[in-house]
Amino acid sequence: MKANFLKFITLIISVIGVILLVRVIQTDGDESAVSMIINYTMLILLVTVAITLIFSILNLLKNPATLKKTLISLAVFGIIFAINYMMAGDGAAYNGKHEVMLEAGTTSKLVDAGIKFSMTLGVIAFLLVVFDSVKSLVKS
């Protein structure tokens, strides 16, 4: 029953998308037709994200052990981001011609913190892969 319902919903969404695509092609890319298909796509994206979040939160609430692990992981991510935010500079960002791309301030600091955070997570992931490889070599 659920599978048939989902197939029916998928069919409806697909037919609406095809109709909007045909309309865009027929109007030769008219702005109103293009904006309509963009709005439809954003609606589908928002509904999908909302459903995913709702079911993820419900699943976490049903399983306290998973909730505990998730909260610990989020706390570790928060701590790593806070450390990178404290280390980030808030100076202006310049391009190759020494023109200001990003003014000094909070936005510049957040961008720098995000870059440092990504690099830190990459280094941690690399070290964990190396550690796992060494550990598996030692076991065998």
Segment 43-77, tens digit of pLDDT: 999 999 999 999 999 999 999 889 999 999 999 99
Q: Is the pTM of this model over 0.85?
A: no
Q: Is residue 32 within 8 Å of 55, Cβ to Cβ?
A: no
Q: Which of 42-46, 85-89, 103-107, 132-136 has the lowest mean pLDDT?
A: 103-107
Phi, psi at residue 102, to the nearest 5°?
-140, 120
User: What confidence tier does 39 reach under pLDDT thresholds 50, 70, 90?
Assistant: very high
Question: Buried (b) or exposed (e) across 26-47, using 16+ Cβ within 10 A?
Answer: eeeeeeebeeebeebeeeeeee
- Reduced to 3 states (helix: H, G, I; strand: E, B; else coil), residue 94 is strand
| CA–CA distance, 57 with 51 (Å, rounded to integer) | 10
Q: Is residue 69 within 8 Å of 110, Cβ to Cβ?
A: no
Q: Is residue 120 within 8 Å of 80, Cβ to Cβ?
A: yes
